[in-house]
Structure 1
Amino acid sequence: MNISDVAERTGLPVKTIRYYEDIDLISPGRGANGYRQFSQTDLHKLAFLGRARSLGFGIEACRSLLRLYNDQTRASADVKALAQEHLAEIDQKIAELGQMRDTLSHLIAACAGNDRPDCPILADLASDG
């Protein structure tokens, strides 16, 4: 399969596929003409990476997940630990977003939104913290 076929079948952009090759997440073969030739295994790895990335796993976590996936002697505890670490990061981001939302909501409520120049939103942004 060529890169366009793989992109269509995995839903990944061609640029992303090339990037994954550049950082050694995948290594497709090359035809006599020098073009990439993707195998079913490459297709499966790319689909795996696409799904992992859609769940928010970073590149290094994806590298670890692929390594674990390919290791038939892996302990599922290792996979679970990696996923739990990622879930904790997501929970932290959600908490931070909640705090941001609360602060912004408070500032919006405090702003009269009229023709006067004074604005608590701008005053807060200009404050030292």
Structure 2
Amino acid sequence: MKSSEEMSIGTVAERFGLATHVLRHWEDTGLLAPRRHANGRRRYGPADEARIAMILLAKDAGLGLDQVRLLFAATADRPTRRALYREHHDRLAERIASLRASLSVLEHAMDCEAEDITACPDFQAKVAARIPG
């Protein structure tokens, strides 16, 4: 594609492996603003492609569309941007810790020598730790 060439919504959606309704939704929520022909058809250029790539990258990092919108709005506001990143980082770190604990339980269960997992002292300790009080 030449840098000045514009594409239809279908072409852009196909290039990114997205459904066209996803791009329309992103436009409805203010994340995209493609140029419109006189007939109302959307035309996407290189800047729109970069914006789509940024949205996808943010989604890959686990950010929701509301968070992406806030980040785009805060592009020139470094402290706000950093606060948003920190908040998401902290939530991800909590999820990772929880997933690691889950993985540890599963790994022990797979390798446990006990005939019945409920008779395993390690498993019993984990069960007891989950009982309130």
Q: What's the TM-score once normalised by structure 1's chain length?
A: 0.69
Report matched runs for 1:76-115 at 5 Å: 76-108=78-110, 109=112, 112=115
CA distance in 2, matches of 1:76, 1:100: 36
Superposed CA deviations along residues 25-47 of structure 1, whole A, max 9, x for unmatched, are: 22324334443222433222212
Kept in 1: contact 2:35–2:43 (CA 8 A): yes
Matched, 1:13 2:27: no
- Please give the secondary structure, in 1, of the residue aligned with 2:74: helix
CA distance in 2, matches of 1:48, 1:119: 46
Question: Which of residues 29, 35, 48 in structure 1 aligns to 2:41?
Answer: 35
Structure 1: gaps of 5 or more residues: 113-117
Q: Which residue of 2 aligns with 1:115?
A: none
Call closer, same or farther: CA 1:34–1:111 in 2, change over 3 Å.
farther
CA distance in 2, matches of 1:12, 1:76: 32
Instruction: Letter of the 2:10 partner, please give it.
Output: S
Question: Which of residues 58, 67, 70 in structure 2 aligns to 1:61?
Answer: 67
- Please give the secondary structure, in 2, of the residue aligned with 1:13: coil
Could you tell me how far 1:111 is from its partner in structure 2?
Answer: 5.6
Could you tell me how far 1:81 is from its partner in structure 2?
Answer: 1.4
CA RMSD of superposed structures (Å)? 3.0
CA distance in 2, matches of 1:6, 1:111: 56
Structure 2: gaps of 5 or more residues: 1-6, 119-123, 125-129
CA distance in 2, matches of 1:86, 1:20: 21
CA distance in 1, matches of 2:113, 2:39: 66
Could you tell me how far 1:77 is from its partner in structure 2?
Answer: 1.7
Could you tell me how far 1:24 is from its partner in structure 2?
Answer: 2.9
Could you tell me how far 1:75 is from its partner in structure 2?
Answer: 2.8
Kept in 2: contact 1:12–1:50 (CA 8 A): no
Kept in 2: contact 1:111–1:119 (CA 8 A): yes
Call closer, same or farther: CA 1:24–1:110 in 2, change over 3 Å.
farther
Counting aligned pairs with the same residue, the percent is 29
